[in-house]
Amino acid sequence: MQNIIPHAMAYFTVDGQTPEGHNQLGFHGCNLFNKQETVSIKSAVTVLNRYFTNLDRLDGVKDAYQEFKDELMNLDSRNPRSKSTVDRRFRAFILEWKLFLDHYDRYIKDGAQTGYWKGVSEAEKEQYLAAFRHYFDDVKDPQQ
């Protein structure tokens, strides 16, 4: 394995398979960027990784809406049970939406857990929070 400089980025390749059928990985240093560029790229990756990880929280709202929509499409107006199921799906969607809004509002106001980040500048934390504020405002906008 090649010596990798601590500040450098690395990547791996699959270099074959072991006799047991496991992939053999080869790690390689990426020398395309200088130290300052590498640190900048790693900081951006940290911000984006946290941002995209948290975007998954909207999945509950999307799923609840789809379940409500599906149930509504299959509504049998003569069947009281069918009506109550649609009603329940609607309430689940509203609850998921409210939880999402409350969570993100609190998450942003509390600093989006940036207090736990080690070695990240205040500017990077603010960049992350600004991205979340922008996303949150877009999601709440009925025109979007």
Residues 126 and 86 in one domain: yes
Q: What percent of the chain has pLDDT over 70?
A: 81
Domains held by the chain: number:
2
d(CA 115, CA 117): 6
Residues 82 and 17 in one domain: no
Highest mean pLDDT among 33-42, 59-68, 95-104 belongs to 59-68
Torsion over CA: 139, 103, 45, 36 (sign): positive
Q: Where are the beta strands (DSSP E) in the chain?
A: 9-17, 23-30
Domain that holds residue 18: 1-32
Of the candidates 6, 137, 111, the one whose C-alpha atom is nearest the C-alpha of residue 50 is: 111
Q: Residue 49: pLDDT band by 50, 70, 90 thresholds?
A: confident
Q: What is the pLDDT of residues 71-110, one digit of tens each?
A: 999 888 888 888 899 999 999 999 998 888 888 788 777 7
Domain contains 116: yes
Per-residue model confidence (pLDDT) at position 52? 72
Residues 27 and 52 in one domain: no
Domain contains 125: yes
Q: Count the Cβ atoms, other than its own, within 10 Å of residue 107.
A: 16
Q: Which amino acid is residue 6, in one-letter code?
A: P
Domain contains 37: no
Residues 49 and 69 in one domain: yes
Give Dmax (Cα) for the chain: 72
Per-residue model confidence (pLDDT) at position 2? 47
Residues 81 and 48 in one domain: yes
Residues 120 and 57 in one domain: yes
d(CA 44, CA 35): 14
d(CA 11, CA 23): 15
Res 4 pLDDT > 50: no
Q: What is the CA angle 97-101-107, rounded to 5?
A: 140
Residues 51 and 107 in one domain: yes
